[in-house]
A and B are shown apart, each in its own frame.
Chain A
Amino acid sequence: MPENKPETTDATIGYFTVVEDERTGWTGGLLILDRGGRPLEFQCTLPVRPTRAHEILFGPTLRSHLVGQVIGKLLISKCRTPLTLLCCDQIEGLAVEAFTQSPVALIREAAEVDEGPISLDMLAGSETVEVAGATFIVPMEQRERVAGLASQYRDLPDAVEPFERIREAIKEAHSQLARQRPEAA
């Protein structure tokens, strides 16, 4: 588990998301930004392709297993920049809290794009904190801690936009993979 004790002046914020693509598989990206939204580090997985057996045997738990236990865990273990706060836009992403000391938040505005309206009833034991104009859903016991960090992200231009950057980057990586395949063949 990486040491997560950045200096207060060097507050960082991590963005974690997983892109599912029928053809390519599941690809995760973790983008670490400084408090002004400038990139510090990017980690990206190669696509994971579950087999039919995985689909049958994991059943409806496959998604949460892949997002939280496989991709999220790996990305966090590879991350070299200390994290102050980690955000995700998928409910399953919250499971990565087991692998990091930093609080993990679900950004409501980002998650609602794909998941529809998200209420606190759906996430038992959660509360909200406003950070950089967005609603961060965090475990009840982390609320105070995240609220204490919120002031450090006043310069963050947009709390949701970095997920788009990760998706763009994954798309770019996929297209490069696709170009390499015919060349290899």
Chain B
Amino acid sequence: MSFFSPRGPNLMRPAVGKSELVAQIDPLNSWTSDSLFDLTTCSLPLPSIDPVAIPIRLKPFVTRTQGFLFPDSARWIPPQAPGAVNAEPKPRKPSVGKKHNRIKPPSDIVKLQDRLYYLLQPPLDLLVGSGQLNFPFEPFPYQLDGMAFLFPRYAGILADEMGLGKTMQAISTIRMLLCSGEVRSVLLVCPKPLVTNWLREFSVWAPEIPIVAIEGNSTKRDFQWRSPQVPVKVANYELLKRDESTVIDGGLHFDLVVLDEAQRIKNRTSTTSEVVRSIPRTRSWALTGTPVENCPDDLVGIFEFLSPGYLKPGMPMPQIAKQAGGYILRRTKDMVLDDMPPKLYRDAELDLTPEQWSTYEAAEKEGVVHLENLEQSLTIQHVFELVLRLKQICNFDPVTGSSCKLERLVADIEEVAASGKKAIVFSQWVKSLDKIRDALQPFGPLEYHGKIPQKKRNGVIDQFKEDPNSHVILMSYGAGSVGLNLQFCEYVFLFDRWWNPAVEDQAINRAHRLGAKGAVTVTKMMAMGTIEQRINDVLDKKREMFDTLFSGNETPTQKVGLSREEIFGLFDLRAPCGKKVA
């Protein structure tokens, strides 16, 4: 700070006047900024920086493999079916994202390698598509699923609704198992009326596999039981009981035992059940359209055969459902509707009972001699009479009442009723329908034919629709084929065949109409080696001809009747004034 004061000339020279003003710095009251701080320096020591390398140990990737070689049998290929054409594989595109019919191991196969053995097999649909697995008819996808279900199973129930092809699925799987060497001996047990059906189905789906029906006297049966050359044996339940000692104590062993209509063993204490359970075996399959008929314990009975003790009587239903789930495959028609045609035809090709055969042969022989003796007076009416007589014998033996068709029908209607479904049975004779009615009493049969007064007919149809205990209606072709709608019926049985397929088609269409609830299964019953088969063959040939000529169009089935020459030809007769028809 400074102030003004007089000062010496060498400090400040005033510009004017005597007394000069001199400015001086008062050192006592002045300061400079330097005097405010006492500046010193100090040094701080810093530690030196030494870089340190910290190693990160990167472990090498270590892994192990597990693997296995497949046995040669995994490359099984069934022989080509006779008549099948070995076509050049079609050009194909890979199926990305498509659902395949794969074999999946069941839960009771535990070892990883065993499970992978099945998982790594090619899907069945691809084997079929590439021609490695041949069938006489292309199976529906759900049928391939059924085979994929059965193939790896040591215990399983195929419980598809009737008409979906349990027999075909079982046979095709047995064929695959035999080809792969996984099984070598198979026993099929079925009700007696179905034995011939199994033999016939085997000849269609697995013609190369030797099969025998156990029958005849005890010496013959004993030989058949022990015959190692025949890998598939068919026995009926009754016969099995008779041959219990041979089968159970005779040192036999089966790689697979299949029970058809397995509901027969639902009663665990029955002799049939006990015998069946005692058969020495490795794999056990049950086929039934109605695994549970009355109560859940029915299933326990079947499981006593599949896996004894696995289910127990009185188990709560949810527990049974949970435990049994992996062992059962059941599809209904509704579930596979997309896969199925609206009408599914089953040919029930049956063999006459011995009683029917003897009557039939005598009648035919006698009838033909009679026709030949008529010579020039022979008319088509005479031939018709013989045909009708023989057809009646094919339905029922007039002496004993024995009937192969009725046996089969009862077995099938049992299943229809147990599934809560309804069926129509057609015959051209009211007398046949009367006999059928008596045999089907447990299933509440109703009748609709010429002998039922017109005014009562509507009541019959209403009752059939409404009554839950009435599972079958018996109709004659004439009365039942016009102006009726029975779409709620899912099963049609043609007990005998009409001359003209158009009439049959009309009858079938009673159940199958637009808006029908589900697919209709039509069972055509036919006695093999009889006049019925001959008529059928002629009609089939004509149908084939029409199909070829009018392919793509509606087949004019009305025209597919029998001509005069063809009717005479049924008995190898020469029509008067006509040529002989072979």
Contacts and interface: CB of A to CB of B under 8 A. Distances in A.
Majority secondary structure of chain B interface residues (helix, strand, loop or mixed): loop
Given A74-B63, A155-B89, A38 B96 contact: no
Contacts of B91: 133
Contacts of B132: 36-37, 155, 157
Interface residues of A, number: 54
B85 interface: no
A173 B161 CA distance: 35
B94 A161 contact: yes
Contacts of B93: 109, 133-134
B65 A40 contact: no
A34 B74 CA distance: 11
Interface stretch (B38-46, B119-127, B447-455, B493-501): B119-127
Contact of B69 (A54, A74, A81): A81
B59 interface: yes
Nearest to B131: A155
A20 to B, nearest CB: 14
A71 interface: yes
Given A41-B69, A42-B68, A66-B61, A157 B119 contact: no
Nearest to A33: B122
B96 A109 contact: yes
B322 to A, nearest CB: 18
A31 B77 CA distance: 20
Contacts of B130: 36-37, 155-157
A53 B60 CA distance: 11
A45 B96 contact: no
Interface string A22-63: 000000001100101111111111111011011001000000
Chain A interface mostly helix, strand, loop or mixed? Answer: mixed
A159 B96 CA distance: 10
Contacts of A5: none
A145 interface: no
Nearest to A41: B69
Interface in B101-128: 102, 112, 115-116, 119-123, 126-127
B95 A161 contact: yes
B126 A158 contact: yes
Contacts of A38: 70, 74-75, 121-122
12 contacts: A36-B132, A38-B75, A45-B64, A48-B63, A53-B58, A54-B61, A74-B65, A107-B94, A157-B122, A159-B94, A161-B94, A168-B102
Given A36-B77, A166-B120, 9 more contacts: A37-B132, A45-B63, A54-B58, A74-B65, A79-B67, A133-B91, A134-B93, A168-B119, A176-B112
Interface of B: 56, 58-59, 61-70, 74-75, 77, 89, 91-97, 100, 102, 112, 115-116, 119-123, 126-127, 129-130, 132
Q: Top 6 A-B pairs ranked by shortest CB distance?
A: A43-B67, A157-B126, A160-B94, A157-B130, A38-B75, A70-B61
